Amino acid sequence: MDETDHLGAAYHTFRDEITQYNVATDRTTGDKFRFYLLNRRFEHVQPVVIYNGFGSTPNTTLGQRYLWSYAQQLDRPIIAPMADHVHRRTDRRQFADSHAHALARLHPGPLHVAGMSWGGIVAYSVAESLQDNADHLVTLSSVGTMDGLHRHAWRALHMLRREGPIVRDAIETIVGDFDPHDHEHPAPTMDPLSKIRRSMIMRRRSLHELPDTLHPSTTWHDIIGVHDALTSHSDHIDAVLRRNTRHPGSTSITVIRNHGHMWAHMRPTLAELLADALHRKEAGHYQEATIARTSDDFTSVENVPGWGVGGGGGSGAGGGFVADESAKNDSDREEG
């Protein structure tokens, strides 16, 4: 079987798996969650739970495109969750505890946890609730808080100028899921108020608390773009450095110099970044700080030479490297 045939067979397997899901209920709250189980052929490897961004749940076209990219890159089982029926939608801690209880019923052992954008908030919230059962956490362009969101509005304009066509393509994909004739991808927001209520967990200053609330045995890799319109990369750097001060060698960060928040055009690259983060975790290769940048066509991410800090030695040298690079990018944006 050549590579094309193998890819085709893998895709057909993926399509079969994404049409099925298990429902688990938190017995305490009655909250119900769907869990899509993908890449099941790697059943003897530790799974990773992946939370997509807002509007790209596993029953949507965009969400399934993300998950197919992850399935191609990750030689491990993937658990793709989504809320099915949740009573408490605005309290981050209750939402995450309920979700973690349902997840533990499905898989009681240790897990890797990953999430992007709004899914990043869910990922690190659930990782907090899983405690020492969350082995490794990877957050990709995750949102920290809605506090001061207006301060980042000009970044959104900059992002739209560079990435506008891609953003529009993503929006058109999401809108397509509302086609009443599309029975394969039912609209993810049949209850729009439910989605809005659940999104309000972003109001809490959750990222700021993470260095103190994430279990000491959980390692964390954060990936953030300098031009992110929904969060400040300096807040992410601060959280990573504070956690390494408290738990040396537990946390690492990749700062992507020329990128913003909308990752819809970088699905394969996101999958590669996640695969690399999990590989480094399991191989014991730790780097506190890495500075990277995307290619001009946004199809890849490469490390900036000379900006890797290794060894897991706490927040010392790495803090200086990342802080200096952040200041440089802030200066570049002010001049530009």
Distance CA 224, CA 93 (A): 23
pLDDT for residue 137: 97
Question: Which structural domains are found in the chain, ordered by start?
Answer: 10-335 (3.40.50.1820)
Contact predicate 62/131, CB 8 Å:
no
User: What are the φ and ψ backbone dihedral angles of 13, each rounded to 5 degrees?
Assistant: -65, -45
pTM of the model: 0.82
pLDDT for residue 231: 80
For residue 105, what are its two tokens? 């019923």
Kindly give, in sequence order, each residue whose CB lies less than 8 Å from that of residue 208, ignoring residues fewer than 6 positions away. 144, 145, 235, 239
Distance CA 37, CA 50 (A): 11
pLDDT for residue 75: 93
pLDDT for residue 258: 81
- The closest of 118, 117, 84 to 102, measured between CA atoms, is 84
pLDDT for residue 318: 44
- The closest of 128, 6, 23, 17 to 78, measured between CA atoms, is 17
- The closest of 98, 97, 127 to 110, measured between CA atoms, is 127
Contact predicate 223/141, CB 8 Å:
yes
- Mean per-residue pLDDT pooled into runs of 10, the chain (336 residues): 65 91 89 92 93 83 90 95 75 85 92 91 92 95 63 58 63 65 55 54 74 95 85 89 93 88 74 90 81 80 69 41 48 39
pLDDT for residue 48: 97
